[in-house]
Amino acid sequence: GENVEQHPSTLSVQEGDSAVIKCTYSDSASNYFPWYKQELGKRPQLIIDIRSNVGEKKDQRIAVTLNKTAKHFSLHITETQPEDSAVYFCAARGYNFNKFYFGSGTKLNVKP
């Protein structure tokens, strides 16, 4: 099955700096890659996603890039704000198009 690895596990940045979280996947048949933000004590919420026919997608301060050849995708947050502090999860939809495989999460701390 699919294996998704996520790095780093923790990331601390100064307010206004950029943050980058990276994920790799193993199954070349995976074709859909969502990113979730989970605030403390709350449910994971979708913040951005990308499909395998697209190399990059941007939504205001958030962008995701996908390199299918290398089988990795990244989340980029620019001009970070304290409210960006949360745990971020990457995911890949597996070969059977039903299961999602999640990374282990990155705890982002934005210092004011």
Partner 1 sequence: NAGVTQTPKFQVLKTGQSMTLQCAQDMNHNSMYWYRQDPGMGLRLIYYSASEGTTDKGEVPNGYNVSRLNKREFSLRLESAAPSQTSVYFCGSSYSNQPQHFGDGTRLSIL
**Segment lying near partner 1 (by CB under 8 A), choices 15-23, 42-50, 57-65, 70-78:** 42-50
**Segment lying near partner 1 (by CB under 8 A), choices 18-26, 60-68, 70-78, 86-94:** 86-94
Locus of tokens 């994971």: 44
CB of 16 to partner 1, least distance (A): 27
Residues 57-74 as b or e (16 or more Cβ within 10 Å = b):
eeeeebbbbbeeeeebbb
Of the residues 7, 61, 99, 111, which one makes contact with partner 1 according to CB under 8 A: 99
Is the separation of the CB atoms in 48 and 70 below 8 Å? no
Phi, psi of 78 (to 5 degrees): -100, 160
Number of residues that bind partner 1 (CB under 8 A): 22
Q: DSSP labels for 48-82?
A: EEEETT-SEEEETTEEEEEETTTTEEEEEE-S--G
Of the residues 89, 92, 108, 110, which one makes contact with partner 1 according to CB under 8 A: 89
CB of 96 to partner 1, least distance (A): 8
> Any contact of residue 46 with partner 1 (CB under 8 A)?
yes
* Contact residues for partner 1, defined by CB under 8 A: 31-32, 34, 42-46, 49, 51, 89, 91, 93, 96-100, 102-105
